Amino acid sequence: MTNPSYRVLLYYQYVNIEDPEEYATVHLDFCKSLDLKGRILVSAEGINGTVSGSVEQTQAYINMMHADPRFASMPIKIDEASEHAFKKMHVRHKPELVNLSLEDDINPLEITGNYLNPKEFFEQLNQPETVVIDARNDYEYELGHFEGAVKPDINSFRELPDWIRKNKEQFKDKKILTYCTGGVRCEKFSGWLMEEGFEDVSQLHGGIVTYGKDPEVKGQLWNGKCYVFDERISVPINQVEHKIVGQDHFTNEPCERYVNCGNPECNKQILCSEENEHFYMRGCTHNCRVHSRNRYIKEHNLLEEEVNERLKKINEKHRISQG
- Please, which residues bridge with residue 38 across strands? 51, 89
Give pLDDT tens digits for 35-64.
Answer: 999 999 999 999 999 999 999 999 999 999
- Please, which residues bridge with residue 271 across strands? 258
- Structural domains in the chain, sorted by start: 6-93 (3.30.70.100), 114-236 (3.40.250.10), 258-321 (no CATH)
In this structure, which amino acid lies at residue 70? R
**Contact indicator for 119, 217 with CB cutoff of 8 Å:** yes
**Contact indicator for 76, 9 with CB cutoff of 8 Å:** yes
**Contact indicator for 121, 204 with CB cutoff of 8 Å:** yes
How high is the pLDDT of residue 295?
98
How high is the pLDDT of residue 3?
59
Expressed in angstroms, the distance from the first to the final Cα of the chain is 48
Give pLDDT tens digits for 142-166.
Answer: 999 999 999 999 989 999 999 999 9
Considering the chain, what is the average pLDDT of its residues? 95
Give pLDDT tens digits for 252-263.
Answer: 999 999 999 999
Most confident option among 104-108, 117-121, 125-129: 117-121
Count of C-beta atoms within a 10 Å radius of residue 322: 6
How high is the pLDDT of residue 321?
62
Give pLDDT tens digits for 195-248.
Answer: 999 999 999 999 999 999 999 999 999 999 999 999 999 999 999 999 999 999
Is the whole-model pTM more than 0.85?
yes
Note the maximum CA span of the chain: 67
pLDDT above 70 covers what percent of the chain?
98
- The residues assigned a catalytic role are 180
Q: Read off φ and ψ for residue 270, nearest 5 degrees.
A: -130, 145
